[in-house]
Amino acid sequence: MKIFLSIVFYIFGTIAIWYQSNIMLQSTQGVILSMFLTSGMFFFYLFINTIKVYKREKNLTNLNSLIMYGYAVIAYTIYSIIYLYNSDRFMMKLFDYINLILILLSIIIIYFLNISLSKVLPSIVKVIPQLVFTITILIEGNNGVSEVLIISFHFITLPRLFYNFIIFKENKTDENKFMFISELLNEVSWILVTIAYYLVWIWILFHIHSFFISKKTRKINFLGFLFRETMLLLFVLFLEQNQFLILYHQFLYHP
């Protein structure tokens, strides 16, 4: 089982690096540099933490976990370098500043709440950027984001999640528990990114479902219909760079 999870991680990790790197050489639309930098920090922290775990208990499971996090650090370093290479100069988007401000505010709140910063900071610098990334995709569009990355990320995160669960189950320490929770939050926040990326298709499925309901059993929910169409119009108005939504809106309202 452990060998299978490792193979899945490295295969999809390599595929994601290749496709996302090529996409970003053409466009960085929907991508924020600060997410790559803070995610790199997240994995670097876990990498250092795993070194401590491996030194304390040297076995194949901990060694593989160590290599996984080292691989993740390299991946986000590559993303950051390519992003900067594709920019004429060092550019920070508005969402980069929003991301960094939210992280700073979270740190301040945690400090005043007397919560151990070392345990929650890694999750903060991973989860918040991915939530901001979700909003960036919705507003800017997803031209700079590889679909392969969106899908592969789940196959990259889930093996680490299950791997950390196995480690925690075998040795229930606070460090192992923290690493498992960090990966769990990482996966949950990426699910939101995935929903944002495929949002247009979700709306299309809603309409297809409504269209093919049998006339005999159809019950018009006016408020639900009104809410759905209003949300669609708002997306089209505010997400002008998302070509899928524009084309779909034209097809729906201007046949």
Condensed to tens digits (0 to 9), the pLDDT of residues 66-112 reads 888 899 899 999 998 888 887 655 567 788 888 889 989 988 888 88
Lookup: tokens for 65? 């976990």
Instruction: Indicate whether 159 and 220 sit together in one domain.
Output: no
Query: Which is more confidently placed, 163 or 220?
Result: 163
| pLDDT reported for residue 253 | 45
Specify the DSSP class assigned to residue 216.
T
Instruction: Indicate whether 103 and 212 sit together in one domain.
Output: no
Which residues fall within 8 angstroms of residue 245, CB to CB, at 6 or more apart? Answer: 200, 203, 235, 236, 239
Instruction: Indicate whether 132 and 153 sit together in one domain.
Output: yes
Instruction: Indicate whether 237 and 112 sit together in one domain.
Output: no
- From 197, 212, 241, the end of a domain falls on 197
| Residues recorded for the chain | 255
Give the Cα separation of 231 and 233 in Å (integer): 5
- Per the structure, the count of domains in the chain is 2
pTM, two decimals, is 0.71
Compute the average pLDDT of residues 56-73: 84
Q: Report pLDDT digits (tens) over 168-184.
A: 888 787 777 887 888 88
- From 172, 197, 222, the end of a domain falls on 197
Lookup: tokens for 13? 């990790």
Give the Cα separation of 249 and 156 in Å (integer): 34
Least confident of 8-12, 29-33, 136-140, 207-211: 207-211
Q: Are 239 and 139 in contact (CB under 8 A)?
A: yes
In 141-198, which ranges are continuous DSSP H helix?
147-170, 174-197
| pLDDT reported for residue 216 | 43
**Kindly report the CA angle at 191 between 185 and 197, in degrees rounded to 5?**
140
Instruction: Indicate whether 186 and 206 sit together in one domain.
Output: no
- From 177, 197, 217, the end of a domain falls on 197
Compute the average pLDDT of residues 59-67: 81
Instruction: Indicate whether 231 and 146 sit together in one domain.
Output: no
Q: Are 30 and 15 in contact (CB under 8 A)?
A: no
| pLDDT reported for residue 158 | 85
Instruction: Indicate whether 104 and 218 sit together in one domain.
Output: no
Instruction: Indicate whether 228 and 188 sit together in one domain.
Output: no
Instruction: Indicate whether 163 and 240 sit together in one domain.
Output: no
Instruction: Indicate whether 165 and 121 sit together in one domain.
Output: yes
In 25-59, which ranges are continuous DSSP H helix?
33-56
Give the Cα separation of 8 and 131 in Å (integer): 25
Instruction: Indicate whether 121 and 244 sit together in one domain.
Output: no
Most confident of 23-27, 117-121, 207-211, 230-234: 23-27
- Cα separations in angstroms, 108 against 20, 60, 102: 34, 39, 10
Which residues fall within 8 angstroms of residue 143, CB to CB, at 6 or more apart? Answer: 27, 29, 30, 241
Specify the DSSP class assigned to residue 145.
S
What range does the domain containing 102 cover? Answer: 2-197
Q: Given pLDDT bands bounded at 50, 70 and 90, which one contains residue 214? A: very low
